[in-house]
């Protein structure tokens, strides 16, 4: 088999095959293109990738790249608990959190057993909060739950709780992450301390932003209900028992997760407690089962029928062969409003690297910039650039065939808008077509000459469509795991460690040092010149 570098060279040369390619012709000339370039899973989830600048030869070359990199073998290593996060010497086992796997051990510890024990504990706690058997300091049922976290301890549960709002029948869920006091203040403004429960999500229970917000929340409870109240109004998602107890939370209300669970992969663990409280343990199990189904699909489906591999391959094709620096995530589902931000962390924190596992620089750029917004709002913001901008931006569209709880008329309008954007990006509108239309409207020739270029759309812009029956807990679990595995496969191809985040750690270290300088008013040796200006503004 050809080496990785030879395959990359073949792909670069293959790009020239598309110099005269246009999706308008490709789709018109091949009535079976959708059948050849789509994947269906479980009869209710389809990936349509027929609107891409690809051919069978493209997929053969990309498949060879995946085989040469041994993507499937690396995934098996991950699921078996092998140390694949080499810079931190850790296993990576978020797949084990989904359950239904054979026994996995890390350093002699039965991970599968530990996962089940903690899950049963936090699901029992969720049930107690939901049915009112776990009550407040004033012996009232909780009406509101505030998750205090940041990064993966916030983005994951926030996104999932919002996405599954149509399935929510528990207390109202709120999320606070920003250390800016306005975030917590705005959240608490209309809440009742006597019926508010806080979940503090920090593995070490030392995360600066999270603990600052947690202390402020504790003061809010104490100021109203007294010094003895916090124990009834707080639970911890952490492993630091001493710090949790010092804060005033019993270890009976501490739910552990492990160092082999990265923050951006942690919603399947106790970090998912706010989700379980919102939708209930049974639906939370359905959420896990969806992810488990995608794990099995990724591990066993052949390349051409494998959704995560195909999505990873297409992203590599555009990032490294077509030099596309960004990728847009465009869910036509308001409940998935936070999905682009969640995927932004998942992808860019995982693969936003310049160094390979072996410590050597990577030979080609890795993670693109991930961004996006829920449709149809984005159509009135940045879609102009998607259609006529100078940069080609590959797009992932997501839409449900059936609404969760919206009106059928509105959902049909949403479907029409989503499909129209995909068609417009692929087909565009030729200048010949524009001129004919303007002439039919009676416009003069000289005016047509001026106007036609502005109404011409090149098209040929690549899109994927993820079409699913309905956004259920099981479906959402599959969608999240789909992107997890996509990011994993890309990381293997690029040779980076997708499971550390030293860039995040650097910012934390520098923030701690600068905090001391700001509090003391004394400039440190490495502080920027703007420090003095900052302090002068504070003095005023």
Q: For residue 279, give both structure tokens.
A: 């939708």
CA angle 56–61–67, rounded 5-degree value = 125
Instruction: Tell me which of 235, 255, 284 is where a domain ends.
Output: 284
220, 98: one domain:
yes
- Nearest to 514, CA basis, from 535, 495, 493, 496: 535
**What is the mean predicted confidence (pLDDT) over 47-62?**
98
CA distance 347 to 344: 5
- Whether the per-residue pLDDT at 528 is higher than 90: the answer is no
252, 111: one domain:
yes
**What is the mean predicted confidence (pLDDT) over 219-241?**
97
> Across all residues in the chain, what is the average pLDDT?
95
pLDDT of amino acid 1: 63
pLDDT interval class at 199 (50, 70, 90): very high
Q: What is the CATH number of the domain that holds 251?
A: 3.40.50.10490
pLDDT of amino acid 405: 81
Does residue 68 contact residue 4 with C-beta atoms inside 8 Å? yes
Domain assignment present for residue 12? The answer is yes
**What is the mean predicted confidence (pLDDT) over 135-159?**
97
The pLDDT > 70 percentage for the chain reads: 99
**What is the mean predicted confidence (pLDDT) over 427-434?**
95
Could you write out the DSSP letters of every residue in 387-401? HHSSS---EEEEEES
Domain assignment present for residue 76? The answer is no
**What is the mean predicted confidence (pLDDT) over 266-274?**
98
Q: Convert the pLDDT of each residue in 396-415 to its tens digit.
A: 999 999 998 878 899 999 99
Cis peptide bond prior to 422, omega within 30° of 0: no
Cβ neighbours of 116 (radius 10 Å): 13
342, 490: one domain:
yes
220, 363: one domain:
no
Q: Which stretch of DSSP H or E encloses residue 449?
A: helix 445-451
CA distance 468 to 139: 43
**What is the mean predicted confidence (pLDDT) over 249-276?**
96
Structural domain boundaries, residue 27:
4-69+301-427+462-494
pLDDT of amino acid 99: 92
**What is the mean predicted confidence (pLDDT) over 522-538?**
78
Domain assignment present for residue 232? The answer is yes
Q: Convert the pLDDT of each residue in 252-261 to its tens digit.
A: 999 999 999 9
Domain assignment present for residue 499? The answer is no
Could you write out the DSSP letters of every residue in 157-190? HHHHHHHTGGG--SSEEEEE--SSHHHHHHHHTT
Domain assignment present for residue 527? The answer is yes
Instruction: Tell me which of 239, 257, 284 is where a domain ends.
Output: 284
pLDDT of amino acid 525: 65
CA distance 47 to 466: 5
CA distance 498 to 92: 10
226, 142: one domain:
yes
Q: For residue 410, give both structure tokens.
A: 């509105």
344 by DSSP, 3-state: which?
helix
Cβ neighbours of 440 (radius 10 Å): 8
**Backbone torsions φ then ψ of 400, nearest 5 degrees:** -95, 140
137, 242: one domain:
yes
Q: For residue 235, give both structure tokens.
A: 């639970």
pLDDT of amino acid 533: 83
pLDDT interval class at 443 (50, 70, 90): very high
Beta strand ranges found along 135-195 (DSSP E): 144-148, 172-176
381, 422: one domain:
yes
CA distances from 535 to 179, 507, 540 (A): 20, 21, 9
**What is the mean predicted confidence (pLDDT) over 287-308?**
98
pLDDT interval class at 498 (50, 70, 90): very high
Q: For residue 493, give both structure tokens.
A: 């191809």
390, 530: one domain:
no
Residues 6 or more apart whose Cβ sits within 8 Å of residue 66: 72, 303, 309, 313, 489, 493
Does residue 377 contact residue 363 with C-beta atoms inside 8 Å? no
Residue among 380, 408, 441, 526 flagged as catalytic:
380
N- to C-terminal Cα separation, the chain: 69
pLDDT interval class at 513 (50, 70, 90): confident
The sign of the dihedral angle between the CA atoms of 218, 224, 227, 232 is: negative
Torsion-angle region of 102 (φ positive above 0: left; ψ -120 to 50: alpha; else: beta)? beta
Catalytic, 353? Answer no
Domain assignment present for residue 169? The answer is yes
Catalytic, 297? Answer no
- Whether the per-residue pLDDT at 376 is higher than 80: the answer is yes
- Whether the per-residue pLDDT at 455 is higher than 90: the answer is yes
**What is the mean predicted confidence (pLDDT) over 110-129?**
96
Total domains in the fold of the chain: 3
**Backbone torsions φ then ψ of 502, nearest 5 degrees:** -70, -25
322, 470: one domain:
yes
27, 113: one domain:
no
pLDDT interval class at 273 (50, 70, 90): very high
pLDDT of amino acid 539: 85
pLDDT interval class at 458 (50, 70, 90): very high
pLDDT of amino acid 78: 96
- Nearest to 261, CA basis, from 34, 24, 60, 90: 90
Parallel, antiparallel, or unpaired: how do β-strands 395-400 and 326-331 relate?
A: parallel
50, 110: one domain:
no
pLDDT of amino acid 521: 79
**What is the mean predicted confidence (pLDDT) over 451-467?**
97
Domain assignment present for residue 272? The answer is yes
- Whether the per-residue pLDDT at 236 is higher than 70: the answer is yes
Q: For residue 98, give both structure tokens.
A: 């989904």
Parallel, antiparallel, or unpaired: how do β-strands 45-48 and 463-468 relate?
A: antiparallel
pLDDT of amino acid 540: 67
Helix 307-316 × helix 56-69 angle, to 10°? 100
117, 218: one domain:
yes
Instruction: Tell me which of 249, 284, 319 is where a domain ends.
Output: 284
Q: For residue 402, give both structure tokens.
A: 């059936």
Domain assignment present for residue 186? The answer is yes
Catalytic, 380? Answer yes
Residue among 349, 353, 484, 485 flagged as catalytic:
349
pLDDT of amino acid 102: 84
Residues 6 or more apart whose Cβ sits within 8 Å of residue 40: 46, 47
């Amino acid at each position: 088999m050809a080496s990785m570098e030879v395959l990359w060279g073949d792909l670069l040369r293959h790009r020239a095959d598309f110099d005269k390619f246009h999706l308008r012709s490709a789709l018109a000339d091949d009535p079976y293109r959708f059948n050849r370039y789509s994947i269906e899973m479980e009869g209710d989830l389809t990936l349509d990738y027929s609107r891409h600048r690809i051919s069978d030869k493209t997929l053969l070359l990309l498949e060879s790249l995946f085989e040469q990199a041994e993507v499937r073998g690396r995934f098996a290593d991950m699921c078996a608990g092998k140390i694949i996060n080499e810079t931190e010497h850790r296993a990576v086992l978020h797949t084990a959190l989904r359950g239904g796997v054979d026994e996995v051990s890390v350093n002699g510890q039965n991970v599968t057993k530990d996962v089940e024990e903690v899950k049963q504990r936090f699901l029992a706690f969720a049930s107690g909060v939901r049915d009112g058997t776990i009550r407040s300091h004033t012996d009232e049922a909780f009406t509101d739950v505030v998750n205090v976290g940041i990064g993966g301890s916030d983005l994951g549960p926030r996104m999932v709780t919002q996405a599954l709002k149509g399935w929510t029948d528990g207390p109202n869920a709120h999320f606070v992450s920003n250390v800016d006091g306005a975030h917590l203040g705005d959240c608490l403004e209309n809440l009742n301390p006597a019926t508010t429960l806080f979940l503090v999500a920090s593995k070490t229970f030392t995360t600066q932003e999270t603990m600052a917000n947690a202390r402020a929340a504790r003061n809010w409870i104490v100021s109203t209900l007294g010094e003895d109240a916090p124990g009834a109004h707080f639970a911890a998602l952490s492993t630091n028992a001493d710090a949790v107890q010092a804060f005033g939370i019993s270890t009976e209300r501490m739910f552990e997760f492990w160092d082999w669970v990265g923050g951006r992969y942690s919603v399947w663990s106790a970090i998912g407690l706010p989700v379980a409280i919102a939708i209930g343990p049974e639906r939370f199990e359905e959420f896990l089962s969806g992810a488990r189904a995608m794990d099995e699909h990724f591990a066993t489906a052949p390349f051409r029928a494998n959704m995560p591999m195909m999505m990873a391959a297409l992203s590599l094709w555009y990032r490294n062969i077509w030099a596309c620096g960004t990728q847009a995530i465009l869910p036509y589902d308001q409940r998935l409003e936070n999905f682009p931000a969640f995927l932004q962390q998942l992808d860019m924190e995982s693969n936003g690297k310049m160094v390979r596992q072996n410590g050597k620089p990577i030979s080609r750029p890795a993670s693109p910039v991930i961004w996006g917004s829920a449709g149809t709002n984005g159509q009135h913001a940045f879609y102009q650039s998607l259609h006529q901008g100078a940069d080609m931006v590959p797009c992932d569209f997501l839409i449900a065939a059936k609404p969760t709880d919206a009106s059928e008329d509105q959902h049909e309008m949403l479907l029409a808008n989503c499909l129209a954007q995909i068609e417009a990006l692929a087909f565009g509108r030729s200048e010949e077509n524009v001129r004919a239309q303007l002439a039919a409207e009676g416009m003069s020739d000289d005016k047509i000459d001026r106007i036609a270029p502005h109404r011409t759309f090149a098209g040929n812009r690549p899109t994927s469509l993820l079409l699913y029956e309905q956004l259920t807990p099981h479906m959402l679990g599959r969608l999240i795991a789909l992107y997890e595995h996509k990011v994993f496969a890309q990381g293997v191809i690029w040779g980076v460690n997708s499971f550390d985040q030293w860039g995040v750690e650097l910012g934390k270290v520098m923030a701690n040092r600068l905090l001391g300088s700001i509090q003391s008013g004394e400039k440190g040796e490495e502080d920027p010149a703007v420090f003095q200006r900052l302090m002068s503004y504070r003095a005023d």
